[in-house]
Chains A and B, each alone.
Chain A
Amino acid sequence: MTICNDMTLAAIEPDAGLAAALKLDRAGVIGEIRRSGMKGRGGAGFPTGVKWNLAAAAQGDRKFIVCNADEGEPGTFKDRVILTEWPGRVFEGMTIAGYAVGATEGILYLRGEYAYLRHGLEQCLAKRREEHLLGNDICGKTGFGFDVRIHMGAGAYVCGEETALIESLEGRRGEARNRPPFPVNTGLGGMPTIVNNVETFAWATAILARGADWFKAIGTEQSTGPKMLSVSGDVERPGVYEFPLGTPIREVLRAAGGEDAKAVVVGGASGQCVPANRFARTVSYEDVATGGAVIVFGPGRNMLDVAENFLEFFVDESCGQCTPCRIGNVKLLEGVRRLKRGECSTQQLRELRALGETMRVASKCGLGQSSPNAFLSIIEHFRREIPSRVPVTVEA
């Protein structure tokens, strides 16, 4: 089973959000999104209403609405499920954003690994054009035109970072830009551009359909609304779950059948490791933030293996532009392997930790800044597992 519990999103009438939005003026739409308090569902958690407002205020001959469907974060697959089950919601949300900020062009940046979803998405787009939900004079609203095209990624995790994604759309290597300037001012082709996650657009339709108050009533004060979680690893029922933000990790594990877990990593390879004695912590922006990945580790797992797998991932996916990330991840990986062999001195471990801290502050983009997270939190919480290892070399 891929969809594992009741989804609020499924219950919301298709295109009710778009109809509601078109009855408001642009400021009214942005006001509703702002009032909902929704933060981006892609991981970074920037308030969506603020982003849309900045893009609406920005000057440009053209503006773009980009949907980030690069979903490369290990352990994350809820965007795939949304794009498979409710593609119309995503395009509806992009259309609402286009109306709100005065953009006529939308682009769905679909990761190359999801090429098999493209056909269904194109069919959905064609149907929406037929039904006047895309194209000119949408829903009979004179003068409002918007359309969406699909752009295929070509296999690069870093292209999920919004400025790298824009570089990729412009036909270049996916190397992150310095920020500021932000895409809302200087995005695709130098024009104001909104980049939002697949799930963010989907929830935007729900906010317009049911109102900001409905959305705000779910979740916590700082983390409003429901969130899709991708649960995988050592659980009986892996799949996509929807929970109000602020739900304790323990409850997620109960639903998925992973109560005996030794640890979870929340937020994927760039997220943090939470050990069993902290399962009361909550999935929320104020506590354990995530783009949606919850990877569960059963009692028999070695957390150093996990750190090694993640660092292999980052060594492979670093764009190589800046030194802390390009070299740092290689050094951390060497360090983890040394720890696994029981050959790491206390001084070396201290240095690895300091290196991780340096990477957090000195890397150019979120990839390098967050790549030491899992390593550092595993070292912190499973310290006792590490020095207890007997160095294999002294056996004889």
Chain B
Amino acid sequence: MLSTQQEQRVAEIDAIIERHGRSRSALIPILQDVQRRHDAIGDFAMQAIADRLGIHPVEVYGVVTFYAFLNEDCRGRFVIRLCRTISCDLAGRDAVANQLRNDLGIEFGGTTADGRFTLEWANCIGMCDQGPALLVNDQVFTHVTPEKVHDILSACTRAFGLHGAQEVQVR
């Protein structure tokens, strides 16, 4: 028998919760896994998690909105976070930022229409000695130049085409 999409999602969320345990202290790891699975933590997921942990949905919402790396709305397959803090700023982040804007055709905070890329600012990512630096999902890129931006983006596009490939390889 075919289950509905919602039932499927609940089953997935349940599996995640069972793995981490039904306790409040597991909330953030649970949310991180749900987000990894679904690219966002929507109302439905927040409600389901709150039910399972026996807390008010507002508590879950409060946590999701507090942390920069937890998101209610859908992000692109690749979230690009360019460090905007001082050392990367000194090292030339503005030129990199412009190149990213131009090549992706979006502003910071935006997602491309094809759902591939989200562009965001990050506060210091701890690569101050190798700036300008950016993160693509969990991967870090250092000494980024406007020329390198193109390589990084095309590597992402290739990884996207490979369907399921995680690592972005810059050639």
Instruction: Report which A residues bind B (CB closer than 8 A).
Output: 2, 71-77, 79-80, 111-116, 151-157, 168-174, 189, 230-234, 238-240, 265, 269, 293, 295, 297, 301, 306, 309-310, 312-313, 316-317, 319
| A317 vs B129: C-alpha distance when bound (angstroms) | 22
B90 within 8 A of A: yes
CB distance from A260 to the nearest CB of B (A): 15
B70 within 8 A of A: yes
Q: Given A154-B68, A295-B128 in contact, is the A171-B28 Cβ separation under 8 Å?
A: yes
Q: Report which residue of B62, B122, B126, B131 has the largest number of chain A beta carbons within 10 angstroms of its beta carbon.
A: B126
B113 within 8 A of A: no
- Contact A233–B29 (Cβ < 8 Å): no
Q: Would you list which residues of chain B between 123 and 171 have a CB under 8 Å from chain A?
A: 123-131, 135, 138-140
- Contact B128–A157 (Cβ < 8 Å): no
Our pick among B68, B129, B139 for the contact of A238 (Cβ within 8 Å) is B129
Q: Given A155-B67, A155-B69 in contact, is the A309-B86 Cβ separation under 8 Å?
A: yes
Given contacts A74-B123, A112-B68, 16 further A-B contacts (CB under 8 A): A71-B126, A72-B126, A74-B86, A76-B128, A80-B126, A112-B67, A151-B29, A152-B28, A155-B70, A156-B67, A168-B28, A170-B24, A269-B86, A295-B86, A295-B87, A309-B85
B106 within 8 A of A: no
Our pick among B25, B63, B67, B86 for the contact of A75 (Cβ within 8 Å) is B86
CB distance from B165 to the nearest CB of A (A): 16
- Contact B85–A116 (Cβ < 8 Å): no
B39 within 8 A of A: no
B32 within 8 A of A: yes
| A157 vs B24: C-alpha distance when bound (angstroms) | 22
Q: Report which residue of B32, B90, B139 has the largest number of chain A beta carbons within 10 angstroms of its beta carbon.
A: B90
- Chain A residue numbers with a CB within 8 Å of B62 are 172-173
| A312 vs B84: C-alpha distance when bound (angstroms) | 10
- Contact A171–B25 (Cβ < 8 Å): yes
Q: Report which residue of B31, B70, B128 has the largest number of chain A beta carbons within 10 angstroms of its beta carbon.
A: B128
Our pick among A152, A233, A239, A319 for the contact of B32 (Cβ within 8 Å) is A152
| A293 vs B85: C-alpha distance when bound (angstroms) | 13
- Contact B69–A301 (Cβ < 8 Å): no
- Chain B residue numbers with a CB within 8 Å of A157 are 123-124
What residue in chain A is nearest B126 (Cβ atoms)?
Answer: A77
- Chain A residue numbers with a CB within 8 Å of B128 are 74-77, 230, 232-233, 238, 293, 295
- Chain A residue numbers with a CB within 8 Å of B11 are none
| A74 vs B25: C-alpha distance when bound (angstroms) | 28
| A234 vs B87: C-alpha distance when bound (angstroms) | 9
What residue in chain B is nearest A171 (Cβ atoms)?
Answer: B27
- Contact B32–A113 (Cβ < 8 Å): no
- Contact B66–A156 (Cβ < 8 Å): yes
What residue in chain A is nearest B121 (Cβ atoms)?
Answer: A316
- Chain A residue numbers with a CB within 8 Å of B72 are none
Contact code string B1-38 (vs A, CB < 8 Å = 1, else 0): 00000000000000000000001111111011000000
Q: Given A154-B67, A309-B85, A310-B86 in contact, is the A113-B25 Cβ separation under 8 Å?
A: no
- Contact B69–A313 (Cβ < 8 Å): no
- Chain B residue numbers with a CB within 8 Å of A313 are 85, 123-124
| A239 vs B142: C-alpha distance when bound (angstroms) | 13
B107 within 8 A of A: no
CB distance from A251 to the nearest CB of B (A): 19
What residue in chain A is nearest B125 (Cβ atoms)?
Answer: A113
| A174 vs B28: C-alpha distance when bound (angstroms) | 11
Our pick among B24, B125, B131 for the contact of A171 (Cβ within 8 Å) is B24
- Contact B123–A154 (Cβ < 8 Å): no
- Contact B29–A75 (Cβ < 8 Å): no
| A77 vs B125: C-alpha distance when bound (angstroms) | 9
| A238 vs B143: C-alpha distance when bound (angstroms) | 12
- Chain B residue numbers with a CB within 8 Å of A319 are 66
CB distance from B169 to the nearest CB of A (A): 15
CB distance from B54 to the nearest CB of A (A): 12
Q: Closest 4 CB pairs between A and B?
A: A155-B68, A171-B27, A155-B69, A154-B67
- Contact B26–A112 (Cβ < 8 Å): no
Q: Given A115-B138, A230-B128, A231-B129 in contact, is the A171-B89 Cβ separation under 8 Å?
A: no
| A76 vs B140: C-alpha distance when bound (angstroms) | 16
- Chain A residue numbers with a CB within 8 Å of B31 are 154
- Contact B126–A233 (Cβ < 8 Å): no
Our pick among B66, B87, B130, B140 for the contact of A74 (Cβ within 8 Å) is B87
CB distance from B75 to the nearest CB of A (A): 13
- Contact A154–B70 (Cβ < 8 Å): yes
| A156 vs B158: C-alpha distance when bound (angstroms) | 31
